[in-house]
Structure 1
Amino acid sequence: MSKKYEKLAQAIVAKIGGSDNVSTLAHCQTRLRFVLKDESKADKEGIKKLEGVANVIESGGQFQVVIGTHVEEVYEEVVKFVSPAEDTQAVEKDNRNVLSKLIDFISGTFSPIIPAISGAGMVKALLAILVLFNLVSNESQTYYVISFIADAVFYFLPVLLAYTAATKLKCSPYLAVGLAGILLHPNFSALVTAGEAVNVFGIPMRLVSYGTSVIPILLIVFAQSYIEGFMRKITPNSVKIIFVPMVTIFVTGLLGLLILGPIGSYAGEYLALAFETLQNSGSWITPTIIGATLPIMVMFGLHHSVAPLGTMQVASLGYEGIWGPGVMVSNISVGVAVLVAGLRSKSKDTKQIASANGITALMGITEPGLYAVALPKKYPLIAAMIGGGIGGFYADFTGTVRFATGSSGLPAIPLYIGEDIGNLINILIAIVIASIVTGVVTYFLSFRFEKDEAAIVPDSIEVTLEDTTLMTPIEGEILPLSEVKDEAFASEALGKGFAIEPTEGRVVAPFDGEVVTVFPTKHAIGLVSNTGVEVLIHIGIDTVKLDGKYFEAFIEPGQPVTKGQLLVTFDLDKLKEEGYVTQVPVVITNTHQYSTIENLTKGTCNENEEVLLVRV
């Protein structure tokens, strides 16, 4: 097994506070998901800066380290350095609110089984293709066998959920699997088929099939965690191995069959009714919202908490349309937006990154494209949300559904093949609509944003890079970029540097050089030093909305400047009065051309103090 991610794994574990700070660890398609005992011990900014880490997100009680599509390889190395506590007797203080705990539980329960569900869904899609092209008859034995191969994961869903739920609740996953087996036991199924009244200790038992169900087993494992925990506390160690599992299975099993299972089945039936009602009347509302907002959900790690709705709907109705279509068009929109942004970018590095990550997004994995291109540039994200929303509206306004769950990219199109090809045609139209809208919006927005975010040094300027010391361009308090209230700067996606919380409304040149860009709104200036350092000085956050109001520029593009020369003045008090963040990021936009960038000053500063040393 390759160990190329061993150093990255060691660094991640060290910066999350060490192995002892890890309560649980899992991974999804693109990110490592930690539940930490003390999140204050984690060096979030330090992890973000590690080569191989795209981002860090804290959501739903989880500390999520975004890696990319090769996350499983990194996970295999990380687990070598982590030993999450599994002692069911250990009681740790948990200060999270109820909503955070619920989101963490749902996400942690469903995330590990996504590969099995996706794989089974794609087998069903393959079978649909074989039938569509008359390669297999739906009355043949071949169809029968492949069908139950694909359905097995969904039928035994209670078993899979039992294991993952028990792992999250820190009770025995093997006892949980045994309890799930009770619900699916052939003898119980025979009682359901017979339909005759059954009483246990005089209590009537509701006869219902629990295959493909979700809620009953979650309630049962929840009860198991308390019953098992209680038995571990009161049972002597000498007989614990016998009596704890015996009482847990007996009490929880009966409780599940007589009370919790029926409650869960009623809840499931009402949930199925809600799904059906939503699907048949106004179903466009949810998928349109998902199509438009999924990138934001992905960035905050919330999508794994909502995605189980699709699994539940498939399990209860045999199809679903409130999650899958919206996700499909959203992912395609992100891919198109990233590809078009790459074509419009003047940076060769951006073009290469966008082409690779855009194709990955079309395949259903959007996070690399989101963090590397869409989020830093912003306008591809806006375009993808517009295109995704319009594509989602069409798909679900026409009642488009998919018949199995799986990944949501181009390879998942066969999931929409049913008894007729109507759903397939509609999802293809929705994809085309989303792609065209996204592509057009991205293209036209690029004329403004690529102009603002173009490479600071034009090709016509040729300089020999030298070590350079930058002076402070503004008076105030120096801050690390990580404290800037804008993700594009804070993540260092635009380059390394520093920020200043200004106390005066004037900006001066940090070196001898030339003005390359003065944005029409005057809120940002691009400079290049005589030694080749490319700098972006951005006055305030979102101040572009002021359209130049409160700003006055004293230079123009192409003009040479000397260190300390006045560049721009602005009304600091007015910016504060109107609620704008007044932080001034100063970024080295050609960071990749330097070996080290060292901050020389901390705390308060005046104009023309040495602040940054850039070494070739």
Structure 2
Amino acid sequence: MSKQYAPLAADIVRLVGGKANITEAYHCQTRLRFALKDESAVALDELNATEGIAKTLSKGGVFQVVVGMHVKDVFDEVERELGDLSANAKDDDGPAKGKRKNVGSAVIEFVSSVFQPLIPALSGAGMVKALLALLVVLKVVNTGSQTYVLVNLFADAVFYFLPVLLAFSAAQKLKISPILAAAVAATMLHPNWVALVTKKEPVSFFEILPFPLVNYSGAVIPIILVIFAQYYVERSLTRVIPKSVNLVFVPMLTFLIMGTLALGVLGPIGSILSGYLGSFFTFLSTNAAWAPALLVGATLPVMVMFGLHNGIAPLGVVQLAQTGKESIFGPGALVSNIAMGAASLVVAFRTKDKKTRQIATAGGITGLMGITEPILYGVALPKRYPLIAAMIGGGAGGLYAGLSQAHRFATGSSGLPAVLLYIGDNTLVNMINIIIALVISAVVSAVLTFILSFKFEKSAGEATAAADDAVAAPSGR
């Protein structure tokens, strides 16, 4: 583990109010996220002025510090600084003073924090599926071969057992036992249950409660409902059962209660809700296939600023689990990121400021790879015109992606390597269409950025020159 970020981590912990002010800390791809007791204790101006911090913001009761792609290294040092936060969490009286989460913000934050730890597994599995699809198209591997079955198994396990992974992650967020939650999810995927579903004969519990025959492999909504219920069941059992026998009877009763609720009530309800979502996806793909890619492609930077993308991205996972393909979030996110990367590289070419050029060059490269927050906060927002150009370029590319009905067959990062995710159904059509969409986004964004730079960079250059002249001019005495 690199120690180079230890001073930055120490400064961040100190400036957000110290360890005593933090009840929870985690991170996403570029941001440190803190649940704070009192946000008024944050030294905001000093924090924003700290080298290594791109921006700070507070959304939905979560204080966020944008540090860039090395966030994992910074977070490792933050964890060292914080140690065990369990005492803080127990003493926490609720959200930061004066800031109560609304329902929408709370839901988005919960969904985001639950899916975030799964991104590496989903991305890795998605890229394996993309590679396998490419090998099939190139006729290197035959779909009937054992090699195909085994490689597909390597990737498909993540999606098949997604309920178990989601259960573990959600339980960590809700601060109940992740192992018990994963075990409850595993009952919904047990081979014996799958055999009963396949047999298609009525199943009832004690001849009273019918268990609807539902296959929960890859399910998202059912397991989230189950773990929400388990939160209340497990907490209640822990309070009621004496500590001397807590270790035995809490798990036993949790399995009995949650197994019954999962297969008899909550799982089927979640399956019905998933069916409605599936109908919505079908309606979109039939009547307005262009809309999601256009809207996400044009507005993703704004969504990222307000954290709204965290509520949309999981819909893509649900769509993929239900239909085997995804077009709600992936295509729009991909063209938007490429547009942002192209705009940033043009700024690097046009700007006369060395620091801006350095940020724009590095950010442009990472943007093309799918990470745009360094560009957003370091270049696009301060200068404005690259943001406008990138949103227009992303919208143009998104419109083509939507009209051509480009969709991906696995989840993964939203950068150039993701074009492989669009190989599927034994054809390259989707990959070709998304590449055309990327070219449109990049060209439109780059051209607009270049044209606008003549006005905005000229003004910035004149201001800099005027300042230099004022410094160099004689005093007049």
Asked whether 1:106 is paired with 2:100, we answer: no
Q: Residues 457-507 of structure 1: CA distance to partner in whole angstroms, max 9, x if unpaired?
A: 44xxxxxxxxxxxxxxxxxxxxxxxxxxxxxxxxxxxxxxxxxxxxxxxxx
> What residue in structure 1 maps to residue 457 of structure 2?
450
| Structure 1 residue runs without a partner (length 5+) | 459-515, 517-525, 533-559, 564-616
**CA–CA distance in structure 1, aligned partners of residues 307 and 71 of structure 2:** 15
How far 1:561 sits from its partner (Å)? 8.8
Q: Residues 3-35 of structure 1: CA distance to partner in whole angstroms, max 9, x if unpaired?
A: 111111111111122223222222111111222
Relative to structure 1, the CA distance from residue 527 to residue 143 in structure 2 (aligned partners, 3 Å threshold; closer, same or farther) is same
Name the larger-Rg structure. Answer: 1
Q: Map of 1:376-415 to 2, 5 A cutoff?
A: 376-415=382-421
> What residue in structure 2 maps to residue 567 of structure 1?
none
How far 1:388 sits from its partner (Å)? 0.2
Q: Residues 44-99 of structure 1: CA distance to partner in whole angstroms, max 9, x if unpaired?
A: 33222221111112113321111111111111111112233289977732432222
CA contact (8 A) 1:88 1:170 kept: no
**CA–CA distance in structure 2, aligned partners of residues 91 and 205 of structure 1:** 40
How far 1:439 sits from its partner (Å)? 1.2
> What residue in structure 2 maps to residue 468 of structure 1?
none
Relative to structure 1, the CA distance from residue 200 to residue 393 in structure 2 (aligned partners, 3 Å threshold; closer, same or farther) is same
> What residue in structure 2 maps to residue 493 of structure 1?
none
Q: Identify the match of residue 211 of structure 1 among 201, 206, 217.
A: 217
How far 1:239 sits from its partner (Å)? 1.5
Q: Map of 1:549-588 to 2, 5 A cutoff?
A: none
**CA–CA distance in structure 2, aligned partners of residues 368 and 323 of structure 1:** 21
Letter in 2 for 1:137: N
CA contact (8 A) 2:23 2:88 kept: no
CA contact (8 A) 1:156 1:211 kept: yes
Asked whether 1:309 is paired with 2:315, we answer: yes
How far 1:151 sits from its partner (Å)? 0.8
Q: Residues 427-453 of structure 1: CA distance to partner in whole angstroms, max 9, x if unpaired?
A: 111111111111111111111111112
**CA–CA distance in structure 1, aligned partners of residues 411 and 462 of structure 2:** 42
**CA–CA distance in structure 2, aligned partners of residues 428 and 281 of structure 1:** 24
**CA–CA distance in structure 1, aligned partners of residues 392 and 440 of structure 2:** 11
How far 1:292 sits from its partner (Å)? 0.6
> What residue in structure 1 maps to residue 7 of structure 2?
7
CA contact (8 A) 2:37 2:92 kept: no
| Structure 2 residue runs without a partner (length 5+) | none
> What residue in structure 2 maps to residue 148 of structure 1?
153
CA contact (8 A) 1:59 1:302 kept: no
Q: 1 or 2, which has the higher helix percentage?
A: 2
Q: Map of 1:58-73 to 2, 5 A cutoff?
A: 58-73=58-73
Q: Map of 1:85-100 to 2, 5 A cutoff?
A: 85=86, 92-94=93-95, 95-100=100-105
**CA–CA distance in structure 2, aligned partners of residues 200 and 143 of structure 1:** 40
Asked whether 1:362 is paired with 2:368, we answer: yes
**CA–CA distance in structure 1, aligned partners of residues 293 and 311 of structure 2:** 15
> What residue in structure 2 maps to residue 196 of structure 1?
201
CA contact (8 A) 1:342 1:350 kept: yes
> What residue in structure 2 maps to residue 576 of structure 1?
none
**CA–CA distance in structure 2, aligned partners of residues 152 and 86 of structure 1:** 37
> What residue in structure 2 maps to residue 530 of structure 1?
471
Relative to structure 1, the CA distance from residue 401 to residue 365 in structure 2 (aligned partners, 3 Å threshold; closer, same or farther) is same
Relative to structure 1, the CA distance from residue 44 to residue 119 in structure 2 (aligned partners, 3 Å threshold; closer, same or farther) is farther
**CA–CA distance in structure 1, aligned partners of residues 51 and 39 of structure 2:** 22
> What residue in structure 2 maps to residue 472 of structure 1?
none
**CA–CA distance in structure 2, aligned partners of residues 31 and 370 of structure 1:** 13
Q: Residues 244-277 of structure 1: CA distance to partner in whole angstroms, max 9, x if unpaired?
A: 2222221122111110000001111111111121
Letter in 1 for 2:3: K
Q: Map of 1:187-586 to 2, 5 A cutoff?
A: 187-201=192-206, 202-418=208-424, 419-454=426-461, 456-458=463-465, 516=466, 528-530=469-471
Relative to structure 1, the CA distance from residue 43 to residue 87 in structure 2 (aligned partners, 3 Å threshold; closer, same or farther) is closer
Secondary structure of the structure 2 residue equivalent to 1:171:
coil
**CA–CA distance in structure 1, aligned partners of residues 385 and 211 of structure 2:** 58
TM score, norm. by length of structure 2: 0.94
TM score, norm. by length of structure 1: 0.74
Asked whether 1:134 is paired with 2:135, we answer: no
Q: 1 or 2, which has the higher strand percentage?
A: 1
**CA–CA distance in structure 2, aligned partners of residues 50 and 455 of structure 1:** 28
**CA–CA distance in structure 1, aligned partners of residues 243 and 91 of structure 2:** 16
Relative to structure 1, the CA distance from residue 323 to residue 390 in structure 2 (aligned partners, 3 Å threshold; closer, same or farther) is same
**CA–CA distance in structure 2, aligned partners of residues 86 and 394 of structure 1:** 52
